[in-house]
Structure 1
Amino acid sequence: MTPPLSHERQLINILTEISQTGSVSQTAANLFMTQPTVSKLIRNQEKQYGVALIDRAQHPLRLTYAGEYYLRQMQQLVRSFQTVSNNLKAYAHTDVGRITLGVNPSLAQVILPQLLPEFHRRFPQVQIHLFEQPAVAMAQAVLAGDIDMHIGIGRTYDEALEHQRLFTDSAALIMPSRLLPPDFDANATPGIATLIHDQDFIAETDDSGFQHLVTSFLAQNEATPNIILRTPNLTTAVQLANAGLGATIVPASLLTATTLQGDTQIVPLPVTDFQADVAITYKVGMPLSEPVQEFLTLAQATFDPTKMP
């Protein structure tokens, strides 16, 4: 079977080469074709439209205005066809479409309840494939094309990745009362180093985007807690802090989705000192299927900064 738009693609290559080389013979050589074949293809196209595509009075040769217009429009046609073709592939295993979404397990309980019910209501035939893994693994999966996008805290600085910020989160320190200094004043704003330096601390695993921010924050404040446990799930960290195992730092948004128990103290971190961008990440230049585009639009509308508290 002849590939779609093969004739148009061939003419695009020929006219592009002629505009660069100014020579039919050199164009033929560059494209591994014979000169008579190249000349015949051009003349057949000129005959079909009744217009000259090449100004043969010029040396070196160059495209006429009609030739330049034809080349631009054919290039656009081929790009549009490729976009349609790529988008259709996303529907290969379902009647309508699907999205594959990666999200950190801790962040999932904050973000997904605000997005997935409404998305399913609008697009009930779209399948949702969910992968809950740390940010580093999700960024690699996006680059490899294994998932369409991922939602995470912090950004992987790779030119091949595009980030769409949803909102900026702050953070809070959850501190068992047994670790608080005797003179602790909940109405004051004690330095983070004073509270947790050398204290038992529960951290996320190193492949977490949020943990990278926490590590940087602690270093800037010259605070060195005693890390006794690392967990991939901040909900687990919160529950262990509730049980008195140690202190932990979590996104402020997680506190609204987590029940705090036990004898603990919550110390908000100043937003001027700690900020975490929550963003959707996808691959640059990758044609996005319609379900993915709709999900991105819904996410941005749901977390519109002008509507956030």
Structure 2
Amino acid sequence: MNDPEALLHYLDVLLKESNFTKAARELYISQPYLTQLIKRIEKKLGTKIINRDRVPFSLTEAGMIYYKYLENISYNDQQLERDLAPYTEPNKEIIKLGVLESLGSFLLPRLLPSFLQNNPNVEIQLFENSPQKNETNLLNGDIDCYIGQTPETISHDLNYLVKNGEQYYVVIPQNSHYFRSDKFILEADELKT
């Protein structure tokens, strides 16, 4: 398997379950396939990537390096797709949206379907991370905006919109080409839950 995103997902589930059979069941693959996949990776790398000696499973130091490598490949693949989009799909706009990990499954199903239906030329790429990681990604230009909570520590280089009721924020850096002082990509009324 050469799909870094799938490998990351497999590793995440395996670490969460700390059991090959349970992980395979959750991934809808066979346990022998998952076991052989990990063994092939370890053989190719020449070292173990998962500590299986105790529960919960954890990544070895080599496993952490491999995991970070997969994250970098995945990010670079997404960046390449975004950079090529003006040439391959000239009318498509890609918005990289950072979201607080705990909000991804709760909030986005309420927001994105109507937004995407009203904006068929837009593709959303999601990045679920901690507030600190999302803020760093915003400041580095790795994401275009961020939906999160409690912006007490938000950098002064970022603007944010406070939605009353629920404490969720859409944050867009001023240096983003999506930033407009008079307009938000996600309008305030689209943030109703």
Answer with 1 or 2: which has the greater Rg. 1
TM-score, normalised to structure 1's length?
A: 0.32
Task: Tell me which of the two structures has the higher relative contact order, counting C-alpha pairs closer than 8 angstroms and 6 or more residues apart.
Answer: 1
